[in-house]
Structure formats: structure tokens, C-alpha cells
Amino acid sequence: MTQTARLYGGSLYDLAAEENLTERILEEMGVVRSLFRENPDYVKLLSEPSIPASDRTKLIDDAFGQQAERYLVNFLKLLCEKNLVREFGGCFEEFTRRYNQDHDIAEAVVTSAVPLTKEQAERLTKRLEEISGKKISLVQKVDPKVLAGLSVELEGKQLDGTVKSRLSGFSRRLNEVSV
């Protein structure tokens, strides 16, 4: 995340907190990020310097003006006018980080070979909440290289319960014994 994204995302968070709109804007930013990811040509269009800024901001008004919170719409227009639309993802990350910090939420990224069932995800979330003492926002990733088990990153700490990790640790211990 760039310093610009931190600054802009943090400023939007401060405004949203002042207006008691953090939850709503966070949710809407997630929708906008998904739309931007699904439509990279739209982001390119909003970033095109040869198109007048007024035309680009009108595109934002047309797309989001009636549905999104006005502060978010104005934020998107500002990014567009400053040619910073490509920084939106980083702004969203900073906004989310600040929201999580203020609401005692920790993001846990769990990587497994196959998607977790709803029950498994709930049990893991509950266990991680017990460990951390915080509410957990679970982000799931699937990586077939994991083979079996789970790898969890929580607040900068890696909790690795994959078979590969266990075998590696076992191998290390065997090498220490045989030396």
C-alpha cells in the first residue's frame, strides 16, 4: 500500500467516523472494489488523462451517484480528478485496517488445499477468537500445494498446521538427533 493510499483512505475513514458512517462506507467500498476488479477497463477509462476530468467524474456520478453514500461518491470523484483511481484498492485496505483496529477485529487469512465447510470455518473462527481475544474476520484462500492441514496468518503471526510444515519440523528434529 502506498503512502498516498494510506493518507486518502485514512482521511475518508476519519470523515466516516465523524459522521458515524464507517460500517456503511466500508461495505460500499467493498462493492466498489469488486466492481473495479471485475471491470478493469472502467478503471482505465476513469484514469485516462486524455478524457476531461469533468467527463470522468460524470461517469462516477452515473454509476454510483444514486446508490452509494455521497461521501464515497465524492471520494471517488476526488481520486478521479487527482488521477489516483488506481489507488482505490489501497485506500480500501487502509479504511478496513482502521475500521478493524477501532472495532477490535483481527483479520485471519487461512490457506487450505480445499475450501473449508461452513462448519469448519465457524469452528476455526471461534478458536481464533479464543486465542486472540478479538473478533475474527476470516479470509479463506485455497492453495492445492498445501496438501493437507491449514496455514493461518493472524496479526503478523504464522500458525502453520500443514502436513508439509509438520514433516519439515519432523525432518529437522531427526537431523538434529542424528548429528
More confident: 147 or 44: 44
Q: Which of 41, 75, 100 is the last residue of a domain?
A: 100
State yes or no: pLDDT of 166 exceeds 80. Answer: no
Which grid cell sits at 18?
465523524
Distance, CA of 43 to chain centre: 18
The pLDDT-based confidence of 10 (bands split at 50, 70, 90) is very high
State yes or no: pLDDT of 163 exceeds 50. Answer: no
Q: Once rounded to an integer, what is the mean pLDDT over residues 152-164?
A: 72
Q: Once rounded to an integer, what is the mean pLDDT over residues 13-32?
A: 97
Q: Once rounded to an integer, what is the mean pLDDT over residues 122-147?
A: 89
Give the pairing of strands 150-154 and 135-142: unpaired
State yes or no: pLDDT of 124 exceeds 80. Answer: yes
State yes or no: pLDDT of 54 exceeds 50. Answer: yes
User: Which residue segment(s) compose the domain that 113 sits in?
Assistant: 105-178
Domain with residue 38: its CATH number is 1.10.520.20
- Is residue 124 domain-shared with residue 158, that is, in the same domain? yes
State yes or no: pLDDT of 134 exceeds 60. Answer: yes
- Is residue 92 domain-shared with residue 133, that is, in the same domain? no
The pLDDT-based confidence of 170 (bands split at 50, 70, 90) is very low
Q: Which residues lie below 8 Å from residue 123, measured CB to CB, with a gap of 6+?
A: none
72 neighbors 102 (Cβ within 8 angstroms):
no
More confident: 161 or 128: 128
Q: Supply the pLDDT for residue 165.
A: 46
- Report the domain count for the chain: 2
Q: Supply the pLDDT for residue 161.
A: 55
Q: Once rounded to an integer, what is the mean pLDDT over residues 162-167?
A: 47
- Is residue 126 domain-shared with residue 147, that is, in the same domain? yes
Report the chain's terminal Cα–Cα distance, integer Å: 45
- Is residue 9 domain-shared with residue 96, that is, in the same domain? yes
Percent of the chain with pLDDT over 70: 89
- Is residue 118 domain-shared with residue 87, that is, in the same domain? no
112 neighbors 88 (Cβ within 8 angstroms):
no
Percent of the chain with pLDDT over 90: 71
Q: Is the pTM of this model over 0.85?
A: no
Q: If you average pLDDT over every residue of the chain, what do you get?
A: 88
